[in-house]
Amino acid sequence: MTKNERVSAALRGDEVDRVPVSAWGHDFLREWSPEGLAAATLDAYRKYDWDFVKVNPRATYYAEAWGARFRPSGQPDQGPELVEAGVKSAADLARIGVTDVTKGPFGEQLAALRLIARELAAEARFIQTVFSPLAVVSRTTGSTKAVQAFMREEPERLEAALGAIAETLARYAAACAEAGASGIFFASVEWGSRDHISDEEYGRFGRPYDLRVLEAARDAPFNVLHVCRDRNHLEGLLDYPVAALHWAAGGDGNPSLAGIAGRTAKAVMGGVSQDSTLIKGTPAEVTGEARQAIAETGGRRFLLAPGCSADPSVPEANLHALREAAALSESRPKPGREAHR
């Protein structure tokens, strides 16, 4: 199979010659320009021969679009530092309006996508990272606790800001497709965890705005919902209009790959712990955990990956082991989940 055929078959739940595999992480030194981000993304793709590409831009670009300022750390293993928040009080939420996605930080990201598309052509699919509207607010304030306070004390102001952000991200999702992306990697970040937001709060401040963005990207073939952190909200979000669900299945209080696979016709993605096995384990341990995930899913409707971004300090040998674990699945029998075909 070609890479595109393999990924498409996995998303449909058809038999594959082997499971598709990929990993991604920040390049804190090169992610500050379209050219640098594109080069870092493509270098990693070529080095490990991934089946698909998840673009991993600097996590601050959404907040930059609404006035937050950051400085690069200058260190390969450290992310940028917040210099000035774009929202410092509830009154500042009124400053958040619909933003032109062809300019500023969003325009810069689109330029990077066009560079990546030009290089990959029809060779492999790539998807762009888009944070949820709620996560954009917390990046703009620089504080999860501040947003929690807005929920309690200024919910209407917060909802107005979320609406403007959701409209902007909906336009941006469409623009990503026009730039060549096969979909968006929609990330909840800290708001994916019950440690930070209750089910009821998520129903008010998360879901309506998430769905507005995802609806704009509905026609893309490779949209992924990434539900972050431990004790996550994934089981309440299975109806989201995406092709695949991605989470850290080994996280505390999180559902298993098999548990979610048995409840949905969507593909599942993940299988290897980014916080323990990938960064601290041996290549053999990475291979073992990956093969366990393949066995758990039957290698059908499954994409092998870490549960979240790979830290810059992850040993290269472990990333090669992840790729080789997928190759080892080539000759394995692949029992289907016929109920979901």
The domain that contains 156 carries what CATH number? 3.20.20.210
What residues make up the domain containing 78? 3-332
Give me the residues paired with residue 69 across strands: 84
Determine the pLDDT at residue 334. 41
Beta-carbon contacts of 103 under 8 Å, excluding residues fewer than 6 positions away, are none
Q: Is residue 339 part of a domain?
A: no
Q: Is residue 66 part of a domain?
A: yes
Instruction: Report mean pLDDT in 10-residue bins for the chain, 341 residues.
Output: 98 97 97 98 98 97 96 95 97 97 98 97 96 98 97 98 98 98 98 98 98 97 97 98 98 97 97 97 98 96 98 97 92 42 31
Q: Is residue 26 part of a domain?
A: yes
Q: Is residue 322 part of a domain?
A: yes
Determine the pLDDT at residue 320. 98
Determine the pLDDT at residue 328. 87
Q: Is residue 77 part of a domain?
A: yes
Q: Is residue 202 part of a domain?
A: yes
Residues 213-226 as b/e (b if ≥16 CB within 10 A, e otherwise) read bbebbeebebbbbb
Specify the number of domains making up the chain: 1
Determine the pLDDT at residue 45. 98
Determine the pLDDT at residue 332. 46
pTM of this structure: 0.95
Q: Is residue 337 part of a domain?
A: no
Q: Is residue 196 part of a domain?
A: yes
